[in-house]
């Protein structure tokens, strides 16, 4: 099941160079990230991480989608393969307020989850909306389904070994700041609370243009989960350095 769901994500990521050469209508904005690491010597390993982001804005309507893919090989064998997808639609009903709907999905062949699905909807508020600075605030109810990968579940995985089907409350704050003509900062904090656990995820990234539409991006993700197995940390951190192409 996991491998079949990954094929569409892989196809989209492979086809990105072809899409980049096509003319894109004015409302569309797209970007691609790619990072690669290879180690050899006492141990051989390879890591590929990639992201595709698409943004469409037309009048009061805005749609954003994001797909991520991670592949890790160690000593010639596949160690991790994970794909993530998130899509959100916003519709403004007055100059500062809007309704939104969000779907996020995780498919992980070797990680703690086979499936992790969240669906939510609610109200949003444009606290700041300027040419170089924006701040969006959102809150609303939703539903969460999580299916743990019991075959791969280790002691250091930040989940408990049971299926989760529950109502949730989702809140989010998203900041975008064009610091200079060539440098941009983006940050996002997402909180999801249900009866089984509460999670907080904070993302921050800084990108600097190198030439035309090509940039280098430094990003970090901090994720806190309230309920974890005994003896494990509640906080996980990830830091990446990727090349970013906008088209």
Indicate if the pLDDT at residue 180 is higher than 80.
yes
pLDDT tens per residue, range 30-53: 999 998 877 666 567 888 889 999
More confident residue, 64 or 2: 64
Burial of residue 135 (number of CB atoms within 10 Å: 0-12, 13-18, 19+): middle
pLDDT tens per residue, range 92-101: 999 999 999 9
Report pLDDT for 82: 85
CATH number at residue 145: 2.40.160.40
Structural domain containing residue 28: 2-246
The domain total for the chain is: 1
**Structure pTM?**
0.80
The least confident of 112-116, 139-143, 177-181 is 112-116
Q: Assign 9 a pLDDT band (cuts: 50, 70, 90).
A: very low
pLDDT tens per residue, range 58-117: 999 999 999 999 888 887 777 778 899 999 999 999 999 999 999 999 888 776 667 889
């Amino acid at each position: 099941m996991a491998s079949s769901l990954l094929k569409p994500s892989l196809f989209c990521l492979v086809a990105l160079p072809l899409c980049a050469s096509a003319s894109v209508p004015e409302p569309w904005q797209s970007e691609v990230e790619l990072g690669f690491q290879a180690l050899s010597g006492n141990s051989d390993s390879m890591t590929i991480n990639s992201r595709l982001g698409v943004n469409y804005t037309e009048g009061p309507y805005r749609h954003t989608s994001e797909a991520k893919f991670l592949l890790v090989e160690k000593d010639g064998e596949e160690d991790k393969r994970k794909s993530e997808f998130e899509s959100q639609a916003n519709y403004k009903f007055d100059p500062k307020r809007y309704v939104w709907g969000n779907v996020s999905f995780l498919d992980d062949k070797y990680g703690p989850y086979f499936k992790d699905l969240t669906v939510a909807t609610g109200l949003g508020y444009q606290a700041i909306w300027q040419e170089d600075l924006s701040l969006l605030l959102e809150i609303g109810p939703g539903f969460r389904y999580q299916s743990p990968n019991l075959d791969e579940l280790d002691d250091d995985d930040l989940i408990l070994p049971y299926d989760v089907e529950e109502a949730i409350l989702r809140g989010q704050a998203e900041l975008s700041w064009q610091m200079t003509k060539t440098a941009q900062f983006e940050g996002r904090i997402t909180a999801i609370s249900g009866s089984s656990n509460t999670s907080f995820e904070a993302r921050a990234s800084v990108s600097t243009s190198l030439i035309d539409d090509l940039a280098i991006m430094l990003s970090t993700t901090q994720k806190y989960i309230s309920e974890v197995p005994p003896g494990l940390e509640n906080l996980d951190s990830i830091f990446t350095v990727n090349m970013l192409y906008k088209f």
